[in-house]
């Protein structure tokens, strides 16, 4: 998947370590892209199973406005269960499972396709095209926030606005950039996943969610995280933590709403301001008084009113 030529030109100015996006196939560049072209580009190795079945797509409600809820690493669509009841009466709500989640068929996980975030962006487009969505409010958490952002560069016409919850274009620290992690930290994390996945899940969950191991939110995240196949979790973690979409931010023209926790061990709050400064279109930032990387799970009473205000 080749990015638009102007983006490829910029990508060539930095090292592979700084921008982990090496797309193998051409992608559509215009809003006139046909359904057949998108379907071809987003074809999954699903043995004839539809995109909807492969991603466990659910459509709730029937209003003209479409709201797409996309979860992040280690969770599945159930992470939105506190928010969905507030949306279904006045929106068409689309839920799906990101490929690699424990609720998806691991046989459909293409390690090459998902070695960069473009694979996930194409999945988003495949779902929107399959459901004949003409425009949507896209609510993406973490990984899916960046996949939605990349998808909006490819097909901006399909997105009315992006609501990005605890999103980061790069997790690694760099010169004049605080991503939150050093390369050594990432290496240790990947080694821990590889050596003892269950033990890693038990230690990672309370750190990311915030709180002790006995809290309901930590227990729930531990469950969905552990449901992932370990080799897929390792591959996906490597993709996320080694990716860098900073040079693509200026090509985002869809309005973005950036919502970040006050305290998040995975994404420093400074990232919200970084995104705000570098996005190509309009953006607003709201920092909420929550702790952890999954506030929609750990603090729904706080985050739901914020999300609903930005959605509507």
Q: Catalytic residues, which ones? A: 142, 264, 293
Do residues 62 and 53 touch, judged by C-beta distance below 8 A?
no
Do residues 67 and 136 touch, judged by C-beta distance below 8 A?
yes
Tokens in use for 237? 């973690």
The DSSP secondary-structure symbol of 155 reads: -
247 Cβ contact partners less than 8 Å away, ≥ 6 residues apart: 7, 10, 11, 14, 19
Do residues 261 and 292 touch, judged by C-beta distance below 8 A?
yes
β-pairing, 92-96 with 58-60?
A: antiparallel
Question: Ramachandran region of residue 274, left (φ > 0), alpha (ψ -120 to 50) or beta?
Answer: alpha
Distance CA 222, CA 129 (A): 33
Distance CA 186, CA 52 (A): 33
The CB density around residue 306, as the number of other CB atoms within 10 Å, is 18
Distance CA 284, CA 56 (A): 32
Closest CA to 217 of 74, 13, 32, 43: 74
The CB density around residue 107, as the number of other CB atoms within 10 Å, is 10
Distance CA 256, CA 243 (A): 20
β-pairing, 136-141 with 66-70?
A: parallel
């Amino acid at each position: 998947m080749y990015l638009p030529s102007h983006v490829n030109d910029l990508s060539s100015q930095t090292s592979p370590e700084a921008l982990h996006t090496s797309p193998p196939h051409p992608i559509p560049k215009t809003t006139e892209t046909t359904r057949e072209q998108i379907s071809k580009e987003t074809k999954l190795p699903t043995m004839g199973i539809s995109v909807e079945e492969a991603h466990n797509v659910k459509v709730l409600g029937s209003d003209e406005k479409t709201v797409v809820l996309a979860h992040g690493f280690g969770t599945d669509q159930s992470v939105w269960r506190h928010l969905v009841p507030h949306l279904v009466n006045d929106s068409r709500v689309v839920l799906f499972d990101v490929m690699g989640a424990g609720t998806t068929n691991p046989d459909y996980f293409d390690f090459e396709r998902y070695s960069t975030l473009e694979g996930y962006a194409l999945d988003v487009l495949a779902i929107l095209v399959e459901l004949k969505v003409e425009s949507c409010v896209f609510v993406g958490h973490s990984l899916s926030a960046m996949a939605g952002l990349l998808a909006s560069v490819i097909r901006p016409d399909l997105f009315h606005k992006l609501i990005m919850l605890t999103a980061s274009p790069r997790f690694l620290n760099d010169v004049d950039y605080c991503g939150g992690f050093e390369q050594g930290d990432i290496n240790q994390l990947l080694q821990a996943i590889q050596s003892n996945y269950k033990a890693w899940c038990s230690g990672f969950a309370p750190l990311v969610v915030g709180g002790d191991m006995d809290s309901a939110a930590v227990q729930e995240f531990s469950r969905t995280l552990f449901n992932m196949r370990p080799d897929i979790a390792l591959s996906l973690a490597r993709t996320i933590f080694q990716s860098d979409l900073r040079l693509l931010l200026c090509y985002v023209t869809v309005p973005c709403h950036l919502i970040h926790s006050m305290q998040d061990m995975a994404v420093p709050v400074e990232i919200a301001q970084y995104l705000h400064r570098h996005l190509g279109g309009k953006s607003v930032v709201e920092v909420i008084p929550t702790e952890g990387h999954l506030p929609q799970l750990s603090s729904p009473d706080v985050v739901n009113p914020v999300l609903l205000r930005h959605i509507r």
